[in-house]
A and B are shown apart, each in its own frame.
Chain A
Amino acid sequence: MLTLSIPIYEKLPNSLDLRLAIQWLTGKADWIGLRLYQEITHQRGARNGHPDENQVSFDRGVMVEVFHQGHFGYCGTAHLTKAGLELACHQAKQMAEAGAKYKVADFDLSAVRPRSVGHYRSPVFKNLDCETLGDFSETLRLASLKLKVSDQIVNAIANARLVETSIHYVSSDGSDTLQEFLLLGHNYAATAQQGSESQTRSDHGGVASCSQIGLETWDRAEILNRCARIGKEALELLQAPNCPSEKMDLILAPDQMLLQIHESIGHPLELDRILGDERNFAGWSFVKAEDFGQLQYGSKLMNATFDPSVPGEYASYAFDDCGNPAQREYLIKDGLLVRGLGSLESQFRSHLPGVANFRASSWNRAPIDRMANINLEPGSSNLKDMIAQTEKGILMEANMSWSIDDYRNKFQFGCEYARLIENGKLTSVVKNPNYRGVTVPFWNSLKAVGNAQEVEIYGTPWCGKGEPSQVIRVGHSSPHCLFSQVEVFGGVQ
């Protein structure tokens, strides 16, 4: 039987042993780190009942890191022989020497490269060799057909993205960490069209359904049920009136909270942004070094954590890419800003508290400060009560559009699907729901947070940042949240 698993690297004779490789290189510089990053990405999809995409990518290489006079030089290579690694080590050393004269910080090696040993594995019960390619493709094909609940559905897509990653990091002073991940993401979306109007409904937004888990969660019957509902809601949107334009109370579902958290908590708290590294690309931050411990970021109900320890969440891990052991930390406690998203290097430069978030997208990029799992901690309310207490408001679900300024103040976000709330009850469905606001006043208008039973976990594979640019995986969990008096509006009239 042909399963999903494609073990081409295992079949290679003379495959690289990283522990041996660090011995070849030790002595060629004051300190050397090697990070072997191997990733196999399976993209399988069906559209309107036919196969659409069947692509598998195999990526494998080593980032060599050399420390010289307080500065790190980097060289990435996919040429994984002794000669290939020696050349890369030589080039990394050249980079370290060239940069050291003009370095932004004079790092103390022991402060920024802890000696770590350990192993991490995603909580997986069924691996890719437990499912045949034929069955898997058939599920996607059936899902795309199930979405097509009417002739008005002009496009129905079902796709899955399975990622197998292993990161092995060793250093010349004895670090040795191995982390193995299996990541599942999928999307089912239906686009309904009538005249010049078209509306798309998906499974919690195009990229949000992703987790670190095995194929034990891949259940055809459950997927097909979900697809039938998505198709029906696309048709509802096609007939729905535009979202009204006025100030009202806003309940965000967890599948939109993920984006709200990402853009208006995660990015502004990155210490490398605050230090100015990102100023020429993604931007700076309204948060300043002196705001930690001082700034009332949100209402007392707001608690946000960096939490790489949630089983199954998309960006859980045990060590970051400089070997720093990862643990849960409060970023915002009772609305007060307490900690930033900064790696050991950023902590060294800024003298601010941080987290283990020095992460590279692959072997060909140097690590930088990234989000991992950034979660909004549950409160004591629930969705039913939030609706009941709202006289005039709207409940928005599933992110569709996102934009925020380079200091992370003025945002505008759009969702797929919304329902109005009138006198404590959900009423009509409206299309093109959007809202805008400014980060700190918005979070200070938070007036109810759902409880732990209503937390949902999402993520995205596509957080972009850095020069050279990198996309990285993040996870965000949250319950429903209620915000008072937000500027809400619809599409072009």
Chain B
Amino acid sequence: MSLNFNEKWQKHFDLLSSSLFSNLKSEEDLNLNLQGEDSTFLRFNQSMVRQNTRVEQVLLSMSFQGSGRRVQFELMLTGDLENDRNLTSSLLERARSEVQALPVDPYLVPMKSNGDSVREYHGKLPLAADAIKMIAETTAGVDFAGFYTGGPVLRASRNSKGQKHWFSSENFFVDYSLFTKNSDGENKAIKGVYADLNWDQNQFSKQLQSSQNQLSLMSRKSQLIKPGAYRTYLAPAAVAEILGTMSWNAFSLKCFKQGLSGFKKLYEKEKSLSPLFTLRENFDMGLCPQFNQQGEMAPAQIVLVEKGIAQNWLSSSRSEKEYGIAANGCDPEMLRSTEILPGQLPEDKVLQELGTGLYLGNLHYLNWSDVPGGRITGMTRYAGFWVEKGEVVGPIQDLRFDESLYQIFGSELAALTREQHIDPSISTYLQRDLGGRKNPGALLNKMTFTL
């Protein structure tokens, strides 16, 4: 009988790691980390298949420590035990010679066991042929461009001190856009994501229908909005996009110490955000493993900003060694599973509270425009509307904003919605990402648009 993806790789990892650990000499340590997936990728344009690909890939990271130095290797495993034993033992030999050639690493953290854990999420996913049929047929007649990804994803970590973590999830998402032309002949679109562990055709159809309803608002005449400052509502997906940009460097201890932080003034208490704003890492959402590549467990929650005041950094054990501030299991020091706590504004009162201003469903291509100043720029995209007296007038032509985070989540933040939306990561660069965000929408007294 054939083993499924998880069983096959668990067994392979067992055999490979025990032979590597048994070859270590005294004073040598080895950490092994596994990132794998068996993925079906289906890309659609106008409800038709542009490209479809199946990929099985399992990447092993080896972190070797000896003589006060560290060397790291990554190896795409073949799945053939003899080949993988050959390749990894060549790398172990190489690591031994490299540590003799490199200078001593003063920030090396001695390896230890970070315990063990198992977390498995099982799903019910369609076969590729069925997924193609359901998506193509459900979306026929709409201008649908979208992307289905599904299959098992795994993360595992072991080290020579006995640590043993396993995380796996069988999940899928359909990330899509629906297009129309409005009465001015301009392209207009709305965005949606259907993501879960179990495919439910009714749920997909229902969600698509609600997207189509939203699209009909986009077919109205465009409102030409001049650059300037406007009262603005950022829907949860737009807020999540801002979190994505902040993830790079805003909360990292290392970035703070190295002069690269977007929130330097926040952590130095020179500035604060709104008392409405509380942000934390929350691993209880189950979107990603609580252990990092070193196998270190983060606490279930890490409060980064509480009621507008900076509390903790994301900090790795390497940063702890260098800067003397306690680590909290974050390596790399980036947001993984982030939550902004909700506010009081009911979602169905958003238009009324907005009154006259901009309703922005999504943002696009954000970047820092002044890192020490905490200012970011980006574009509106998809569902952006001009609203007057609580009524949608029509879609806008996309605008560029350039605004400080101390304004967006600080002085100009009027309210957060009572409801939070979950936004699982759908990134597929190099490999399928895990993690995500859970956050409310944000009503701002004003936001600055420049182009």
Chain A residues in contact with chain B, CB under 8 A?
2, 6, 8-9, 11-13, 50-51, 53-61, 71-81, 84, 91-92, 94-95, 97-99, 101-104, 132-134, 137-138, 141, 154-155, 191-193, 196-200, 275-277, 279-281, 283-284, 364-366, 368, 401-407, 410, 412, 414, 432, 434, 436, 438, 464, 467-471, 491-492
Point out the residues of chain A lying under 8 angstroms from B375, CB to CB: 491-492
Point out the residues of chain B lying under 8 angstroms from A9, CB to CB: 87
B45 and A98 form a contact (CB under 8 A):
no
Determine if B86 is an interface residue (Cβ-Cβ < 8 Å): yes
B364 and A132 form a contact (CB under 8 A):
no
B379 and A57 form a contact (CB under 8 A):
no
Query: In the complex the two chains form, what is the Cα distance from A482 to B259 in whole Å?
Result: 33
Point out the residues of chain B lying under 8 angstroms from A470, CB to CB: 429
What's the least CB distance linking B14 to chain A, in Å?
18
Q: B59-72: contact bitstring with A at CB < 8 Å (1 yes, 0 no)? A: 00000000001111
> What 9 A-B pairs are tightest by C-beta distance, nearest first?
A492-B373, A198-B259, A98-B129, A491-B370, A468-B428, A155-B258, A57-B74, A467-B147, A74-B53
A8 and B91 form a contact (CB under 8 A):
yes
Binds A, one of B277-285, B303-311, B398-406: B398-406
Binds A, one of B115-123, B263-271, B340-348: B263-271
* Of A78, A91, A141, A277, most B-chain CB atoms within 10 Å: A78
B177 and A279 form a contact (CB under 8 A):
yes
B128 and A95 form a contact (CB under 8 A):
yes
B451 and A436 form a contact (CB under 8 A):
yes
B52 and A412 form a contact (CB under 8 A):
no
A191 and B258 form a contact (CB under 8 A):
yes
B86 and A12 form a contact (CB under 8 A):
yes
Point out the residues of chain B lying under 8 angstroms from A403, CB to CB: 365-367, 369, 377-379, 400
Contacts of B18-55 to chain A: CB distance below 8 A: 39, 41-55
Q: Of all chain A residues, which has the CB nearest B191?
A: A280
B367 and A50 form a contact (CB under 8 A):
no
Determine if B257 is an interface residue (Cβ-Cβ < 8 Å): yes
Binds A, one of B99-107, B207-215, B232-240: B99-107
Q: B159-180: contact bitstring with A at CB < 8 Å (1 yes, 0 no)? A: 0000000000000000111010
* Of A98, A141, A280, A469, most B-chain CB atoms within 10 Å: A280
A74 and B80 form a contact (CB under 8 A):
no
B369 and A434 form a contact (CB under 8 A):
yes
Contacts of B232-256 to chain A: CB distance below 8 A: none
13 examples of A-B residue contacts, CB within 8 angstroms: A73-B52, A79-B79, A81-B80, A99-B49, A99-B52, A101-B133, A133-B102, A155-B259, A193-B259, A198-B259, A279-B179, A280-B146, A283-B364
Point out the residues of chain A lying under 8 angstroms from B90, CB to CB: 8, 11
Point out the residues of chain B lying under 8 angstroms from A432, CB to CB: 370, 373
Q: A84-B79, A280-B176 are in contact. Are A405 and B379 (CB under 8 A)?
A: yes
Point out the residues of chain A lying under 8 angstroms from B200, CB to CB: none
Taking a contact as CB atoms closer than 8 A, the residue among A138, A196, A280 that contacts B264 in the complex is A196
A133 and B429 form a contact (CB under 8 A):
no
